[in-house]
Amino acid sequence: MNLLIRHIQESDNPFLSRIVKDTLAEFGANHPGTVYYDPTTEAMYELFQKEGAVYFVAELEGKIVGGGGIYPTDGLPGGTCELVKMYLLPQARGSGIGRTLIEKCLAFAKEAGYKHVYLETMPELKQALKVYAKFGFEYLKEPLGNSGHTGCSLWMLLRSLE
């Protein structure tokens, strides 16, 4: 498996937008209030130029198959960032690529000084929920921060990056 994990480039925008939208549609999770309708999904390179943010792109055999990032979402408690836009094409799932992306994201978060990592998701994304739990993410009763993604009904927090 020829896997490359790299930082996002501006030319990745259309490929990543398609992966996010196709994945949400595949699982019936393309609801209003999700990244499916978020205009930043079309301009992810620009979004992730913010200080304290990073987006990693996974290439398999030279083809973009997904990605995931860390973002300092407005309104989160101090020392907390968000794991965001974590999506993989079907051929990349179950191969360890998602785990590798999350590990890279968590390593960046720790290096950047974050203490906690938050995420928002949906019950439709069952496989992802299991992966997040394996990393130690725990369910919350309500959302944190101001992501604007009111279509997400599950919220999780990794309480310590130690």
How do residues 5-27 score in pLDDT, each as one tens digit? 999 999 999 999 999 999 999 99
H-only helix segments in the chain: 13-26, 44-47, 97-111, 126-134
Percent of the chain scoring above 70 in pLDDT:
100
Separation in Å, CA 139 to CA 63, 84, 86, 110: 34, 16, 18, 21
Q: Is the pTM of this model over 0.85?
A: yes
At 53 the three-state DSSP class reads coil
> What tokens appear for 34 in the block?
């999700």
Domains and CATH numbers, the chain: 3-158 (3.40.630.30)
The four Cα atoms 73, 159, 162, 136 give a dihedral, to 10 degrees, of -110
State pLDDT tens for residues 106-131: 999 999 999 999 999 999 988 899 99
